[in-house]
Structure 1
Amino acid sequence: MQQPRRKRRGRRAPNSLTRIPVRLNALLGIVILMLVILGVQLLNLQVRQAGKFTAEVSSKAKSIQKENVQRGNIYDSTGKVMVDNKGSQAITYQKPKSITNAQMYKVANEVGKYLKVDTDQLADTNYAMYYIQDDKRAQKVGRHINNLAADGTDAQVRQLTQYLKNHQDDFPLTDAEKNNAMIYQKMGDAYALSTVYLKTNDVSAEEIANIGERQSKMPGVKVGLYYTREYPSGDAMTSIIGAVSTSKSGLPESQVNSLLTKGYDRDDSVGTSYLEQYYESALRGTKRTVSVGTDNRTGKTSSKVIQAGQAGSNLTLTVNAKFQEDLQKILEEKIPGGLTEGGYAIMINPKTGGLYGMAGVYRDNKTGKITSDALGNINRAQVVGSVVKPAMITTAMMNNVITPTNSAVNDVPIQISGTAVKSSWFNQNGSVPLTAETALEASSNSYVMQLMLKMGGLNYYPNMTLGNLDPSVWSKMRNGFARFGLGVPTGIDLPGEVTGIKGKTDASHSGNALDESFGQYDTFTPIQLAQYAATIANGGYRVQPHVVESISNRQKDSNVEHLQTTIPTQVLGTVGWTDAQRKVIYDGMDRVVHGSGPHVTGSQLKGIKPSVSAKTGTAETFTDGQETFSSTGISFAKDHDVALAIVVPGISNKAQDSVANTISVAIWEAYWRDVANAGEN
Structure 2
Amino acid sequence: MKKKKNGTTEKNGIPFRLNVLFFAVFILFSALILRLGFIQIVQGDEFEREQEQTSSEAVRIDAPRGLMYDRNGELVVDNELVLTLTYTNEQSVSDEERIRIATELSEIIEVDDDDIENIPERDLKDYWLVTHPDEALSLITQEDRDSVEEDEELYQIQLDRISDEQLQELDPQREIIAIWREMTSGYYDSPQRIKKGLAQEEAHRISERLDDLPGVDILRDANRNYLYEDAFPRFFGRIGSIPRESVDQYLAKGYDRSDEVGTSFLEQYYEEALRGQKGEVSNDSREESSGSRGHDLVLSVDMALQQEVETIIDNEVDSAAGSFINDKSAYVVMMEPDTGELLAVAGYSDQIGTIASSFEMGSTVKPATVLLGLETGVISEHTVVYDRTINLPSTPPISSVSALGPVNYLSALERSSNVYMAHIAMEMAGYQYGVSQTWNVAQYNKAYDTFRYYYEQFGLGVETGIDLPYETTGINGGNQSPGNLLYLSFGQFDTYTPMQLAQYTAAIANDGYRMKPQLVKQIREPNADKSELGAVRQQFEPTVLNKVDIDERYIHMAQQGMWRVVNGSRGTARSYFNNTDYVAAGKTGTAEITVRREGTDNYVDGNNQAFIGYAPYDDPEVAIAVIVPNVYVSGTSGIANRIARSSLDAYFDLKEERPDIEPAGEETSE
Scaled by the length of structure 1, the TM-score of the pair is: 0.77
- Structure 1 residue 181 displacement after superposition: 6.6
> 2: distance between equivalents of 1:139 and 1:448?
77
> 1: distance between equivalents of 2:261 and 2:57?
25
In the alignment, which residue of structure 1 is the partner of 2:500?
528
One-letter code aligned to 1:613: A
> 2: distance between equivalents of 1:170 and 1:505?
55
Structure 2 residue matching 1:239: 3-state secondary structure: coil
More helix by share: 2
Contact 1:126/1:185 (8 A) holds in 2: no
> 2: distance between equivalents of 1:166 and 1:585?
70
The reply to whether residue 353 of structure 1 matches residue 335 of structure 2 is no
Residue 394 (structure 1) aligned to one of 335, 346, 371: 371
> 2: distance between equivalents of 1:238 and 1:491?
21
> 1: distance between equivalents of 2:260 and 2:403?
61
Cα deviation per residue 1:159-194 (whole Å; 9 max; x = unaligned)?
A: 99979966996997897x887776555443443442
The reply to whether residue 670 of structure 1 matches residue 653 of structure 2 is no
> 1: distance between equivalents of 2:298 and 2:553?
39
5 Å-filtered alignment, 1:249-268, equals 250-252=241-243, 255=246, 258-259=249-250, 262=253, 264=255, 268=259
Contact 2:429/2:440 (8 A) holds in 1: no
Contact 1:111/1:211 (8 A) holds in 2: no
> 1: distance between equivalents of 2:380 and 2:160?
83
> 2: distance between equivalents of 1:571 and 1:70?
35
Cα deviation per residue 1:543-581 (whole Å; 9 max; x = unaligned)?
A: 111222222231568965132222222211111332321
In the alignment, which residue of structure 1 is the partner of 2:292?
310
Structure 2 residue matching 1:393: 3-state secondary structure: helix
The reply to whether residue 379 of structure 1 matches residue 356 of structure 2 is yes
> 1: distance between equivalents of 2:55 and 2:92?
14
- Structure 1 residue 264 displacement after superposition: 4.8
Judging changes above 3 Å, is the alpha-carbon distance between structure 1 residues 67 and 114 closer, same or farther for their aligned structure 2 residues? farther
User: Higher mean Cα deviation, 73-82 or 629-638?
Assistant: 73-82
- Structure 1 residue 86 displacement after superposition: 1.8
Cα deviation per residue 1:50-88 (whole Å; 9 max; x = unaligned)?
A: 254233256357754222121222222222222222222
In the alignment, which residue of structure 1 is the partner of 2:666?
none
In the alignment, which residue of structure 2 is the partner of 1:12?
none
The reply to whether residue 93 of structure 1 matches residue 87 of structure 2 is yes
> 1: distance between equivalents of 2:534 and 2:647?
33
In the alignment, which residue of structure 2 is the partner of 1:287?
278
> 2: distance between equivalents of 1:170 and 1:241?
40
In the alignment, which residue of structure 2 is the partner of 1:425?
401
In the alignment, which residue of structure 2 is the partner of 1:13?
none
In the alignment, which residue of structure 2 is the partner of 1:226?
221
In the alignment, which residue of structure 2 is the partner of 1:364?
none
One-letter code aligned to 1:196: Q
Cα deviation per residue 1:109-156 (whole Å; 9 max; x = unaligned)?
A: 796498345383594356357647xxxxx689879998799xxxx99x
Structure 1 residue matching 2:272: 3-state secondary structure: helix
> 2: distance between equivalents of 1:164 and 1:260?
38
The reply to whether residue 539 of structure 1 matches residue 511 of structure 2 is yes
Residue 80 (structure 1) aligned to one of 74, 83, 97: 74
Judging changes above 3 Å, is the alpha-carbon distance between structure 1 residues 94 and 311 closer, same or farther for their aligned structure 2 residues? farther
- Structure 1 residue 327 displacement after superposition: 1.0
Cα deviation per residue 1:645-666 (whole Å; 9 max; x = unaligned)?
A: 1111222245744332222211
> 1: distance between equivalents of 2:557 and 2:345?
30
- Structure 1 residue 99 displacement after superposition: 3.8
Judging changes above 3 Å, is the alpha-carbon distance between structure 1 residues 163 and 651 closer, same or farther for their aligned structure 2 residues? closer
Judging changes above 3 Å, is the alpha-carbon distance between structure 1 residues 158 and 581 closer, same or farther for their aligned structure 2 residues? closer
5 Å-filtered alignment, 1:168-207, equals 185-205=181-201, 207=202
Judging changes above 3 Å, is the alpha-carbon distance between structure 1 residues 303 and 599 closer, same or farther for their aligned structure 2 residues? closer
Contact 1:74/1:317 (8 A) holds in 2: yes
Residue 431 (structure 2) aligned to one of 453, 458, 480: 458
The reply to whether residue 512 of structure 1 matches residue 508 of structure 2 is no
Scaled by the length of structure 2, the TM-score of the pair is: 0.78
> 2: distance between equivalents of 1:237 and 1:270?
20
Contact 1:629/1:654 (8 A) holds in 2: no
Cα deviation per residue 1:625-670 (whole Å; 9 max; x = unaligned)?
A: 2221222111111213111111112222457443322222111111
In the alignment, which residue of structure 2 is the partner of 1:124?
124
Judging changes above 3 Å, is the alpha-carbon distance between structure 1 residues 164 and 81 closer, same or farther for their aligned structure 2 residues? farther
- Structure 1 residue 219 displacement after superposition: 4.5
State the percentage of identical aligned residues: 31
In the alignment, which residue of structure 2 is the partner of 1:278?
269
Contact 1:408/1:435 (8 A) holds in 2: yes
The reply to whether residue 660 of structure 1 matches residue 634 of structure 2 is no
> 2: distance between equivalents of 1:143 and 1:504?
59
In the alignment, which residue of structure 2 is the partner of 1:497?
471
In the alignment, which residue of structure 2 is the partner of 1:31?
none
> 2: distance between equivalents of 1:113 and 1:333?
46
- Structure 1 residue 538 displacement after superposition: 0.9
5 Å-filtered alignment, 1:242-253, equals 242-245=237-240, 250-252=241-243
5 Å-filtered alignment, 1:404-419, equals 404=381, 406-417=382-393, 419=395
One-letter code aligned to 2:267: E
Residue 403 (structure 1) aligned to one of 362, 373, 380: 380
5 Å-filtered alignment, 1:47-66, equals 47=41, 50-57=44-51, 59=53, 63-66=57-60
Judging changes above 3 Å, is the alpha-carbon distance between structure 1 residues 143 and 564 closer, same or farther for their aligned structure 2 residues? same
Instruction: Count matched residues.
Output: 599
Residue 567 (structure 1) aligned to one of 537, 540, 543: 540
Judging changes above 3 Å, is the alpha-carbon distance between structure 1 residues 168 and 124 closer, same or farther for their aligned structure 2 residues? farther
- Structure 1 residue 277 displacement after superposition: 2.3
One-letter code aligned to 2:192: V
- Structure 1 residue 394 displacement after superposition: 0.8
One-letter code aligned to 1:380: S
> 1: distance between equivalents of 2:215 and 2:592?
65
Residue 101 (structure 2) aligned to one of 108, 126, 131: 108
Contact 2:444/2:482 (8 A) holds in 1: no
Contact 1:66/1:195 (8 A) holds in 2: no
Contact 2:139/2:161 (8 A) holds in 1: no
Judging changes above 3 Å, is the alpha-carbon distance between structure 1 residues 63 and 187 closer, same or farther for their aligned structure 2 residues? farther
Contact 1:384/1:520 (8 A) holds in 2: yes
In the alignment, which residue of structure 2 is the partner of 1:476?
450
- Structure 1 residue 388 displacement after superposition: 0.9
Judging changes above 3 Å, is the alpha-carbon distance between structure 1 residues 166 and 253 closer, same or farther for their aligned structure 2 residues? farther
One-letter code aligned to 2:455: F
> 1: distance between equivalents of 2:398 and 2:157?
75
Contact 2:589/2:611 (8 A) holds in 1: yes
> 1: distance between equivalents of 2:513 and 2:129?
63
- Structure 1 residue 612 displacement after superposition: 0.3
Cα deviation per residue 1:182-219 (whole Å; 9 max; x = unaligned)?
A: 655544344344222343344343x4344435545544
Structure 1 residue matching 2:421: 3-state secondary structure: helix
List alignment gaps of at least 5 residues for structure 1: 1-38, 133-137, 294-301, 362-371
> 2: distance between equivalents of 1:145 and 1:518?
67
Structure 1 residue matching 2:260: 3-state secondary structure: coil
Contact 2:264/2:469 (8 A) holds in 1: yes
